[in-house]
Amino acid sequence: MKSLVILISGRGSNMQALLEAEFEMDRITVISSNPNAEGLAIAKKYGIETIILDHRTFPDRESFDATLAERIDACQPKLIALAGFMRILSDRFVHRFQGRLMNIHPSLLPAFPGLRTHARALQEGIKIHGCTVHFVTPQLDHGPIVIQAAIPVLSGDTEEILATRVLQQEHRIYPQAVRWFMEDRIKLGENHVEVMDSRVNETALYSPELPE
């Protein structure tokens, strides 16, 4: 069964990009750690089943992760996609779903793992920034990379402007990565990903192009 679980905590823009991709799915379920997440209203608009697990009602991370795992297992998903899920998952949880947990991160990993990626990129004065879809491992933001998109850092870019431009690329590559997974085109190695039957420019994007 082709079932997808999407984990969110906030606005749900990457979740919406996945829903708009119109995958051939038997079931999609959205689980939010935040009862006030804007993404819940978007999911309901699309007629998607939603589940709320308010992390603040759990005594610790382990108990939250255990309940989350039970809810996910009940959905029998082929893939679990983190889309702005603002929770650090325990090692036990990650190992339970190893190879089926995918995340989108707003930097060209392994550069700038963690938070405030755009501000840090500007502070470092880098010339190329972007986003990465990767498999989740116990080491934060260091799992095998599926696809990346790069953009130039332009003079006059602020943290907000850069975040907006990177987000546009996130909405392009996350649905692509999920589609590859659902079509069984991803071969996952120990620390690398091979996409079968893909062109080079499908797995290494550069958009928009630099002016000549």
pLDDT at 200 over 80: no
Please write the tens of the pLDDT for every residue from 101-144: 999 999 999 999 999 999 999 999 999 999 999 999 999 899 99
What are the pLDDT digits (tens) for 65-106? 999 999 999 999 999 999 999 999 999 999 999 999 999 999
Q: What distance in Å separates the CA atoms of residue 113 and residue 111, rounded to the nearest whole number?
A: 6
The number of C-alpha atoms within 13 Å of 62 and in the hemisphere containing its C-beta is 1
Q: For all residues of the chain together, what is the average pLDDT?
A: 91
CATH superfamily of 105-212: Formyl transferase, N-terminal domain (3.40.50.170)
Q: Name the residue ranges covered by the structural domains of the chain.
A: 1-97, 105-212
Average pLDDT of the residues in 45-53:
96
Q: Left (φ > 0), alpha (ψ -120 to 50) or beta: where does 41 sit? A: alpha
Q: Just list the catalytic residues.
A: 105
Distance CA 93, CA 41 (A): 27
CA distance 146 to 188: 9
- The predicted pLDDT at position 212 comes to 44
Structure tokens at 114: 């963690």
- Same topology for domains 1-97 and 105-212, yes or no? yes
pLDDT for 4 equals: 98
Residue 199's pLDDT band, with cuts at 50, 70 and 90, is low
- Extract the tokens encoding 87: 């929770």
Q: Is the pLDDT of residue 209 over 60?
A: no
Give the per-residue pLDDT at 96: 97
User: 158, 165 in Cβ contact below 8 A?
Assistant: no
Q: Which stretches of 156-208 are assigned E, i.e. beta strand?
A: 186-188, 193-195, 204-206
Q: Which CATH number fits domain 1-97: 3.10.20.340, 3.30.70.1150, 3.40.50.170, 3.40.190.10?
A: 3.40.50.170
pLDDT at 146: 93
Taking the model in full, what pTM does it have?
A: 0.92
* Mean pLDDT, residues 31-57 taken together: 97
pLDDT band for position 190 (cuts 50, 70, 90): confident
